[in-house]
A and B are shown apart, each in its own frame.
Chain A
Amino acid sequence: MMWVSDRAVERLRVAAGAPDLSGTRYRLVEYVARGGMRAVYRAEDTALGRRVALKVLDLPDPTGELARRMLREARILARMEHPSIVPIHDVGTLADGRVFYTMKFVQGGRLDQYLERAGSLPDRLRVFQRICEAVAFAHAQGVLHRDLKPENIMVGPFGEVLVMDWGVAKILRESPLGERPGPPGIDAGAVQTGGTGREAPAPVTGRETAHGSVLGTPGYMAPEQARGEIDRLDAQTDVYSLGAILRFLLTGHSPLEATTAGAGASPSQGGPASGRVRPRALEAICAKAMADDIASRYTTATELAVEVAPYLDGLPVEAFPESWLVRAGG
């Protein structure tokens, strides 16, 4: 039997994981990253002569469940055309049977990387507002993200913001497109091979997560989400995560890290001050967005973005009324 050296083992792992793009219009350029059930590659769309990110199911899928989830994610992305939501180009099944989709290849870095080189507080707040606008748009389309965190947000070289990774999104209601009847019983296997995007749209169903199951990231997910109360999740669940992201932009730490450092404080209260200055008005906005009581939070992502605007203009915010003398004193 053939001797397989350590180096060959690693090469074979790569070879076994590489997507088989034969019969498609894509050419593999390089492996980019891997996370959860998917791997991301940089590929070239040879028909259009442009770079794309190609996401492919990375794990064996004996039940077809992972393929259905990935197809669902692709269809969620397809219904959200917004400058701050990464656009999907194509979806299909490769010759090796794995579901894939291609999307815009995003330049830039994740929000946590952006923060390391971020300049002024106003710059960070403007980025935050763009994140809120994208999330508000998704909510208007009936989609909850459910996993908003710095790692899922990209900031481009010109300050453009892209909200990524809608893999655990929840559909609150169908879009007009989604209401169009699809062929009965369509599933991931019905997607055309070859990445032509010719598959018939199937309605995207929203009740994919069982009550009691927890999807999300500690520190960024709302208490009701952490408790697995699926039926209580709505736009204000994402508002909580946006509050946590704002706190991250102010402190450089996730709320959970801050809580660990400041024993006894809850994520919504924040931890001890880091090296960064945290204006009390913005702290008050974070606290309101991250209120344990859902009814006490901002009702929409737009409302949260609007609340930040006066601060940028040097005006008091509703969450923290203060005189100009207090503001002048910090």
Chain B
Amino acid sequence: MSDDTGIGGPSAKFPLTRWSAIVAARSPDAAERRRGFETLVAAYWKPVYKYIRARWGKSNEDAKDLTQEFFARLIEKDFLATYDPAKSRLRTFLRVCVDGLVANQDKAAQRLKRGGDVLLTSLDFETAEGELGRTEPPAPGGVEEFFEKEWVRSVFALALEGLRAECEQRGKVIHFRLFERFDIEDAGERRLSYEALAREFNLAVTDVTNHLAYARREFRRITLEKLREMTASDDEFRREACGLLGVEPE
């Protein structure tokens, strides 16, 4: 796996917790605050970078600088102090903040690469740029949807890294490989059959289905734990889960 960022990193870097990263990011405790920001940066830096490229048409160099500047400000200027979960989703709040930053790019440019560098230097923008080339550009008027889609992609990617780490730790690499082959890798319109997977991995079909059941269960759990960290209330958590899992809210 390519470690495209040390920020946030694989989920194993932090204990999975029900504590909200938003609450943590506002904590007076420096270590807790750092944990909160790292969680948010890990989930949002790629969507923010891609959004700046797609929405504002910035060059990759400018988008890199603006992304770093955005998160540096988020940390230093305590942007999150003004965030009210009752009024909007965190994702919307962050997107509006990004728009504000880019719109005032001239001022922002004077502050580029100030502070936060220690935290942000290892963001792998090359990978993000490569991914951007593999996605459809946003439709006219569809930038909000684009940002949301990239956020879902980012959360799922983090959860997959978490699942991979867990499987490696528990000696269940085969479970992850089966999950990867069946549920992630693009095999065109036709899906692999359980029988084909059983032959490929020299397993009984029941082992394949059991291993997949384990991996899917853990993937769901890790995904929801990631989401829980990125929301500030039960209600927001449930609403965001609807969006992430593609469920119509009640």
Contacts and interface: CB of A to CB of B under 8 A. Distances in A.
A2 B242 contact: no
Interface in B35-87: none
Interface string A1-30: 111111111111111111011100000000
Interface stretch (B25-33, B150-158, B195-203): B150-158
Q: Which of A14, A58, A59 has the most CB of B within 10 A?
A: A59
B243 to A, nearest CB: 10
A13 B227 CA distance: 14
A17 B245 contact: yes
Interface in B154-188: 156-158, 160-161, 164, 179, 183-186
A35 B242 CA distance: 11
B153 A4 contact: yes
B250 A37 contact: yes
Contacts of B228: 60, 62
Question: From DSSP, what is the main secondary structure of chain A's interface residues?
Answer: loop
Contacts of B220: 15-17, 96
A120 interface: no
Given A3-B134, A58-B245, A59-B238, A12 B4 contact: no
Contact of A15 (B1, B5, B131, B219): B219
A63 B185 CA distance: 35
Interface in B89-128: 127
B2 A63 contact: no
Contact of A34 (B131, B157, B248): B248
A32 interface: no
A16 B245 contact: yes
A95 interface: yes
A36 B250 contact: yes
Contacts of B160: 2, 4, 12
Contacts of A21: 213
A95 B157 CA distance: 24
A11 B248 contact: no
Interface in B199-250: 210, 213-214, 216-217, 219-221, 223-224, 227-228, 234, 237-238, 241-242, 244-248, 250
Interface string A32-62: 0011110100000000000000000011101
A7 B186 contact: yes
Nearest to B153: A4
Given A16-B245, A35-B248, A62-B237, A1 B161 contact: yes
Given A1-B127, A6-B135, A96-B221, A18 B186 contact: no
A11 B2 contact: no
B145 interface: no
B90 to A, nearest CB: 17
A9 B247 contact: no
B217 A60 contact: no
B135 A15 contact: no
B250 A4 contact: no
A80 to B, nearest CB: 24
Given A1-B158, A95-B217, A16 B223 contact: yes
A22 B175 CA distance: 14
Given A8-B184, A15-B183, A16-B245, A2 B238 contact: no
Contact of A9 (B152, B214, B238): B152
A15 B184 CA distance: 10
Nearest to B46: A1
Contacts of A8: 156, 183-186
A1 B186 contact: no
A13 B220 CA distance: 9
B153 to A, nearest CB: 5
B188 to A, nearest CB: 9
A219 to B, nearest CB: 19
A36 B237 contact: no
Contacts of B134: 3, 5
A1 B157 contact: yes
A22 B157 contact: no
B216 A58 contact: no
B246 A2 contact: no
A59 B248 contact: no
Nearest to B215: A15
Contacts of B221: 96
B216 A18 contact: yes
5 nearest CB pairs, A to B = A20-B217, A16-B220, A22-B213, A96-B217, A15-B183
Given A2-B157, A8-B156, A35-B248, 19 more contacts: A1-B3, A2-B161, A2-B164, A3-B131, A7-B186, A11-B183, A12-B160, A13-B245, A15-B220, A16-B216, A17-B247, A21-B213, A36-B250, A59-B241, A59-B247, A60-B237, A60-B238, A62-B234, A95-B217
